[in-house]
């Protein structure tokens, strides 16, 4: 069984999905089911006070007994806020320590602030969190996050919500080549081929939200992403043929070809 | 009379109350929530004992959809 192992725990799916931007919890659940994901990210937000107390909750639609809930710090712009958010998340999820750290630096681009990210990672690892960390595709920062003790490094393919795909496969290859912890592409995947390429590069997994949620048919896209991640993984394991401009080596035998036709005009 | 800031909103209560009583007043009893008082986590097991004081800032959070 080719499982994704994070912090000593094995997962059958290498696709991790977010739960934001869906029409309702029913659609969220249907898309998550179709994706086959074991790990789903959630955000931590202030509860709506004074609204319908019987309003359904996300964790009713996606029960922690069935899914590994990965609380994230999306929306945090400082190490301190990210750490506070995850302390709340750990309390909310009964001591669950696997978390996604993400500290942003700019509300327009949502580009990560790696300095705050490094600082938050240090605090969280000391406090016993198992940190999967979102970062830029800078190989030096990725290595430093691993050395701090993060259990997975998650560089962006391109900016959050952009759907621009993998803009710098070379940096991702360097990160993958150097890492001793799982490397997951997080953010920027737009369609199935992007996810397949990430896996073919040797990524251990892919985390996405908008690519599925913003598709015209999110449930169908979730199914496509599942197949793309599986196909990309298998292609990576199979080892692709080398690329060359031409081969002079046809796929069919060169011998035994029937006699060339006589020239009728002769 | 005490004043609290709950999720950024000022709120007044006629008498001091515990975290558990605040949760009840907000109709959140039994809901999966986490609570922070002045930047520090209050574990769920301590809601009954945790007294809230005038001027405290309280954050009450839940899990919502997100990437």
pLDDT one-digit tens code per residue, A146-190: 999 999 999 999 999 899 999 999 999 999 999 999 999 999 999
Nearest to B33 among A42, A47, A58 (CB): A47
∠ Cα A35 A40 A43 (to 5°): 135
pLDDT per residue over A133-147, tens digit each? 999 999 999 999 999
H/E segment holding residue B51: strand B51-52
- Are A82 and A44 in contact by the 8 Å Cβ rule? The answer is no
Nearest to B63 among A22, A53, A69 (CB): A69
What pLDDT is attached to residue A48? 84
pTM of the model: 0.91
pLDDT per residue over A194-212, tens digit each? 999 999 999 999 999 999 9
Residue A93 is encoded by which pair of tokens? 């999820």
In angstroms, the CA B51 to CA B61 distance is: 19
Percent of chain A with pLDDT over 70: 97
Collect all residues with Cβ–Cβ distance below 8 Å to A25 and sequence separation of at least 6: A56, A58, A60, A61
Query: How near does any CA of chain B get to the CA of A147, in Å?
Result: 25
What pLDDT is attached to residue A21? 93
Distinct helix (H) and strand (E) counts, chain B: 1, 7
Cβ contact (<8 Å) for B66 and A49? no
Say yes or no to pLDDT of A250 above 60: yes
More confident residue, B63 or A52: B63
Say yes or no to pLDDT of A57 above 90: no
Label residue A265 by pLDDT band (50, 70, 90): low
Work out the number of other CB atoms within 10 angstroms of the CB of residue A238. 9
Q: Please state the rounded mean pLDDT for residues A22-50.
A: 93
Distance of CA A262 to the CA centre of its chain: 61
Query: How near does any CA of chain B get to the CA of A106, in Å?
Result: 17
- Are A93 and A71 in contact by the 8 Å Cβ rule? The answer is yes
Question: For residue B39, which residues of chain A lie inside 8 Å, CB to CB?
Answer: 84
């Amino acid at each position: 069984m080719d499982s994704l192992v994070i912090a000593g725990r094995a997962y059958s799916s290498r696709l991790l999905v977010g739960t934001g931007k869906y029409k309702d919890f029913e659609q969220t659940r249907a898309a998550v089911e179709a994706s086959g994901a074991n790990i789903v990210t959630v955000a931590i937000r202030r509860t709506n006070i004074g609204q319908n107390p019987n309003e359904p909750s996300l964790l009713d639609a996606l029960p922690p007994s069935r899914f590994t809930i990965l609380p994230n710090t999306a929306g945090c712009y400082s190490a301190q806020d990210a750490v506070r958010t995850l302390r709340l998340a750990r309390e909310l999820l009964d001591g669950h320590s696997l978390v996604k750290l993400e500290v942003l630096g700019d509300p327009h681009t949502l580009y990560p602030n790696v300095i705050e990210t490094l600082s938050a990672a240090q605090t969280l690892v000391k406090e016993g969190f198992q940190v999967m960390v979102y970062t830029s595709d800078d190989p030096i920062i990725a290595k430093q996050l691993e050395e701090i003790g993060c259990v997975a490094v998650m560089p962006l393919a391109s900016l959050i919500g952009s759907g621009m795909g993998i803009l710098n496969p070379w940096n991702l290859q360097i990160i993958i080549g150097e890492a001793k912890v799982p490397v997951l592409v997080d953010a920027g995947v737009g369609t199935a081929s992007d996810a397949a390429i990430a896996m073919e590069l040797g990524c251990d997994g892919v985390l996405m939200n908008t690519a599925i949620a913003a598709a015209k048919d999110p449930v169908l896209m979730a199914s496509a992403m599942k197949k793309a991640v599986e196909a990309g993984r298998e292609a990576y394991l199979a080892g692709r043929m080398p690329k060359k401009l031409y081969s002079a080596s046809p796929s069919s035998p060169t011998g035994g070809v029937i006699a060339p036709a006589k020239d009728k005009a002769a | 009379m005490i004043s609290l800031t709950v999720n950024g909103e000022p709120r007044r209560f006629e008498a001091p109350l515990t975290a558990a009583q605040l949760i009840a007043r907000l109709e959140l009893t039994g809901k999966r929530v986490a609570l922070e008082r002045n930047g520090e986590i209050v574990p769920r097991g301590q809601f009954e004992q945790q007294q809230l004081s005038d001027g405290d800032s309280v954050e009450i959070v839940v899990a919502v959809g997100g990437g």
